[in-house]
Structure 1
Amino acid sequence: MKNHIAFSAIAIGLLSSVSLQAAEDLSSMFSEGKVSGQIREFSISRSVEYSNPASADYTRDANAIGGYLKFDTADYKGLSLGTALYTTNGFALDDPRTNTKVVDPTLLGKNNESYSILGEAYVQYKHENTAFKGGRQKLNTPLAGADDARMLPNLFEAYVLSNTDIDGVTLIAAHATKFAQGTFGRAYGAGGILGGTSGYSAVDASNQVGKFVNMGTYSVGVATNGVSIASATYTGIDKLKLQVWDYYAHDILNAIYAQVDYSWACALSESIKPFASAQLIKEDDVGDKLLKGLGGTGEIDSIYYAIKAGAKLENFTAYIAYSETGKNSATDSSYSNAIISPWGGMPAFTQGMVTRHNFLAGTKATKVAASYNWKNFGPDLKTVAYYADFDMDRYNGYTSGDAGETGFDIIYNLASVKNLQLRLRGNFADDFNVNSAGDTVGWSEYRFIANYSF
């Protein structure tokens, strides 16, 4: 019944569209509100292959339909409210009892079931250059974010204050108390160092999906006072952007994230637009150091840096990026020099579509990518291709050696059906990890996504 209600709500959204404007009284605040949302169909298929012929190759597939339905009230003297229902519903799923085909867990909820969640429920207030938003909401920050890579995104219970009084400067102060893992987080059901460095929990959180839990309970299995966030972003100089973020995860760690982006005019040709970026992450454990016991000593003293350079020539863009994460010694915890990012944050220039080994201790990663927008030929079509290489250290706590990932992304916005986007993605992983027998694993994965926004 719950899923039928969710689908009915989404269907109503297709028939509703009211412009959002300032309300004259509390009654018109609701009557002049706006309904919006998205219907998403997602199909995924991964063929997994082992280097050892004795290991059984297999495929894992899944199909789901769902999305979200959102209602925002009109603004009344700076005050507004918002709420959104999210749902994912599996269909045509393979029998998980077979040895050769399994259900891909990253589109569904606990035990690969369909689920719905009241993902957003917030109050907003704006006065001049200051804004406040509190309650269940999306966050899109470098080390805490939606990571909307599968059916449903990560969501937060958070309280965010922002101000733009200083010209070219945006200041943010926030505190996040709870986290609702999206469906993609189920890829890291085992938790551990790979989950903790890939944007998700260091403990097994595969069945925490679809509910709001304490930030510490989700990430390390112990309740904490949440994560306090502060940031400053400067855009006062043309073609230059500077941002600094601080994340104080109480009794876990403190993380500082900094990034600079700059573009300039090319002396050879006005058509060529070069750009360059750099990013830095520094982490240290704090308070009760709750990662202790999960990976050894739990002493966190890690650093990561990355650089990226590229150029745009009309509709063609290409770049190359490189990153390094500090090494562990033989006696270090696997977490000691790794970059821990348990709440959906994955800002690395060198990440693959799936392979996120760039934050493991001692990893040196390189990525090259290119994209082309075909709009001059008529269709609203964009194509992307990339290759990422991960040279991993033996003491990172997960795997060693060299891993690689090649991939593509094709995005097509149909002219014949307004607001309908079709997307085909593929990634091909080599030596993703090595098991205790020295057997390597890789795969070929394809995703088809249809998004209808309204």
Structure 2
Amino acid sequence: MRKTSLALAVAAGTLGLSQVAFADLVGDTKVSLEARNFYFNRDFRQGHTDVPVPTRSKSEEWAQGFILRMNSGFTEGTVGFGADAIGMFGFKLDSGDGTAGSGLLVPDRSSGGSQDNYSDLAVAAKAKISNSTLRVGQMQFKNAAIASSDGRLLPQVFEAGHIVSQEIDGLMLEAAHVREVNNRDSGDYQDISIATGGRRAVTTTGGSTTDSFDFIGGTYKLTKELTGGYYYSNLDELYKQHSFNLVHVLPLGDKQSLKTDVRYARSTDDGNRSNVDNKAFGAMVTYGLDGHAFGLGYQKMSGDTGFAYINGTDPFLVNYVQISDFANKDEKSYQARYDFNFASIGIPGLTFMTRYLTGDNVDRGRTASEGREWERNTELMYVFQEGALKNLGVRWRNATVRSNFANDIDENRLIVSYTLPLM
């Protein structure tokens, strides 16, 4: 794996620090090892006229992964130095003939299956002045402009330079220049691409990839209950985007609250390599009562295309769920969700979620009727709270998708994970 020269230089420089400074660096270091066992089964129920009949009836794989995370402290002085790292290793437990392509493992193009194992090491050097931190190297992101996906065996990471400033109480500002991505089913870094699938109507000329993505923005806690956010991002020559977000949490009394999450994004093309033109509005209102949470969501796409975002990432949409993002051209979608935390009745660590989403008004072209789709998700998760199995988590995720413009899908994911704190 390639490392940036600056990251290596800064990391090497920390080795020559005084013993006192080195002790402070190590003293605040946190290290953990996660073992993640992942079974994935996706059944393709049928094909539609809009898409070819699937060449396989299902995608089914079983794999084991290990994720070692290290976040160091900082050396003493006006400028503190440190380093972060993510070590990743995954290997195949089962992947029968014709059932590869789950995203758990690296594809083996020669056989059409999956490689037996893969590994990677993401390293970022960091420097801190006051309450501002600069990182250079490989890292993950999670904000309105870009969010690394961690929905398979190993996480998605990016090669970038990233600065975060929290000099003003309640205000977080950040900016980054991103060059390449290592996707969750890849063992190396590659150029960044725009998502073009589904009925998004996004087209590109001269390829759908670039080696430059920039963003700047942040969040501000306007009041105790209200937080606002804004990000500007640019996938070079493919799209520009302005993203806005308001989150309000209103306490209603004993163990009651009302949370409102409103999101809006305006995306346009950046030059003549794409036709991106989209307005995306979404809102989610959630009423919490003791261990219960009842949510209603609405999302609408307008413009000449669907929503624009980096391929493989988690888009900043209220109706982005297990399989679908409900972000096709002109699509309107609705969500009803229910969560229950069993800690409220004396069973800490056990949680349940179910939701149903329906979308319509999808533009399928002049000769076809409007596109419709729906998705149902169910999730049950338990994390052992004590004893020999403490921190062992068992998670079952189920999804059903039906559509008149894409494949019908039934899906199950079973994830068993154990996180061991090492420092």
More strand by proportion, 1 or 2? 2
Equivalent-residue separation in structure 2 for 1:76 and 1:403 (angstroms): 54
**What does residue 408 of structure 1 align with?**
378
Residues 324-362 of structure 1 show CA distances to partners (whole Å, capped at 9, x for unaligned) of 10144xxxxxxxx22111241312111231012x22111
Equivalent-residue separation in structure 2 for 1:399 and 1:66 (angstroms): 44
Indicate conservation of the 8 Å contact 1:361/1:396, yes or no: no
Equivalent-residue separation in structure 1 for 2:135 and 2:399 (angstroms): 37
> How has the CA–CA distance of structure 1 residues 404 and 83 changed in structure 2, closer, same or farther, with 3 Å as cutoff?
same
**What does residue 316 of structure 1 align with?**
292
**What does residue 274 of structure 1 align with?**
258
**What does residue 278 of structure 2 align with?**
302
Equivalent-residue separation in structure 2 for 1:89 and 1:317 (angstroms): 38
**What does residue 214 of structure 1 align with?**
191
> How has the CA–CA distance of structure 1 residues 35 and 351 changed in structure 2, closer, same or farther, with 3 Å as cutoff?
closer
> How has the CA–CA distance of structure 1 residues 213 and 59 changed in structure 2, closer, same or farther, with 3 Å as cutoff?
closer
Q: For 1:25, what is the secondary structure of its paired residue?
A: helix
1:284 alignment partner AA: T
Q: For 1:264, what is the secondary structure of its paired residue?
A: strand
Q: For 1:340, what is the secondary structure of its paired residue?
A: coil
Out of 244, 267, 273, the position equivalent to 1:290 is 273
Indicate conservation of the 8 Å contact 1:304/1:326, yes or no: yes
| 1:26 Cα offset (Å) | 4.0
Equivalent-residue separation in structure 2 for 1:152 and 1:301 (angstroms): 33
Residues 274-331 of structure 1 show CA distances to partners (whole Å, capped at 9, x for unaligned) of 12121001011123x323xxxxxx2x22111011112100111111000110144xxx
Equivalent-residue separation in structure 2 for 1:419 and 1:165 (angstroms): 35
Equivalent-residue separation in structure 2 for 1:262 and 1:228 (angstroms): 28
Aligned 1:34-183 pairs, distance under 5 A: 34-50=30-46, 58-77=57-76, 78-96=80-98, 102-111=99-108, 112-183=114-185
> How has the CA–CA distance of structure 1 residues 222 and 45 changed in structure 2, closer, same or farther, with 3 Å as cutoff?
closer
Identity of aligned residues (%): 16
> How has the CA–CA distance of structure 1 residues 33 and 308 changed in structure 2, closer, same or farther, with 3 Å as cutoff?
closer
Higher relative contact order (CA 8 A, sep 6+): 2
Residues 105-124 of structure 1 show CA distances to partners (whole Å, capped at 9, x for unaligned) of 32111222144343421111
Q: For 1:131, what is the secondary structure of its paired residue?
A: strand
Indicate conservation of the 8 Å contact 1:323/1:349, yes or no: yes
Indicate conservation of the 8 Å contact 1:307/1:322, yes or no: yes
Q: Give aligned pairs, total.
A: 376
> How has the CA–CA distance of structure 1 residues 271 and 32 changed in structure 2, closer, same or farther, with 3 Å as cutoff?
closer
> How has the CA–CA distance of structure 1 residues 51 and 125 changed in structure 2, closer, same or farther, with 3 Å as cutoff?
closer
1:247 matched to 2:236: no
> How has the CA–CA distance of structure 1 residues 373 and 120 changed in structure 2, closer, same or farther, with 3 Å as cutoff?
same
| 1:174 Cα offset (Å) | 1.2
> How has the CA–CA distance of structure 1 residues 47 and 313 changed in structure 2, closer, same or farther, with 3 Å as cutoff?
same
Out of 282, 289, 301, the position equivalent to 1:325 is 301
| 1:260 Cα offset (Å) | 0.3
| 1:246 Cα offset (Å) | 0.7
Q: For 2:169, what is the secondary structure of its paired residue?
A: coil
Out of 423, 427, 433, the position equivalent to 2:395 is 423
Indicate conservation of the 8 Å contact 1:134/1:158, yes or no: yes
TM-score, length-scaled by structure 1: 0.76
Q: For 1:353, what is the secondary structure of its paired residue?
A: coil
Indicate conservation of the 8 Å contact 1:85/1:116, yes or no: no
Q: For 2:251, what is the secondary structure of its paired residue?
A: coil
Q: For 2:316, what is the secondary structure of its paired residue?
A: coil
Where does the alignment leave 5 or more consecutive residues of structure 1 unmatched?
1-21, 97-101, 184-208, 292-297, 329-336, 435-440
> How has the CA–CA distance of structure 1 residues 47 and 126 changed in structure 2, closer, same or farther, with 3 Å as cutoff?
same
Q: For 2:405, what is the secondary structure of its paired residue?
A: strand
Equivalent-residue separation in structure 2 for 1:51 and 1:254 (angstroms): 34
Please report the RMSD computed on the Cα atoms of aligned residues, expressed in angstroms.
2.7
**What does residue 8 of structure 2 align with?**
none
Where does the alignment leave 5 or more consecutive residues of structure 2 unmatched?
1-17, 109-113, 197-203
Indicate conservation of the 8 Å contact 2:292/2:340, yes or no: yes
| 1:237 Cα offset (Å) | 0.7
Indicate conservation of the 8 Å contact 1:216/1:226, yes or no: no
> How has the CA–CA distance of structure 1 residues 245 and 88 changed in structure 2, closer, same or farther, with 3 Å as cutoff?
same
1:390 matched to 2:356: no
> How has the CA–CA distance of structure 1 residues 35 and 232 changed in structure 2, closer, same or farther, with 3 Å as cutoff?
closer
> How has the CA–CA distance of structure 1 residues 23 and 79 changed in structure 2, closer, same or farther, with 3 Å as cutoff?
farther
| 1:444 Cα offset (Å) | 1.8
> How has the CA–CA distance of structure 1 residues 32 and 245 changed in structure 2, closer, same or farther, with 3 Å as cutoff?
closer
Equivalent-residue separation in structure 1 for 2:67 and 2:243 (angstroms): 31
1:68 alignment partner AA: I
Equivalent-residue separation in structure 2 for 1:31 and 1:165 (angstroms): 24
| 1:400 Cα offset (Å) | 4.7
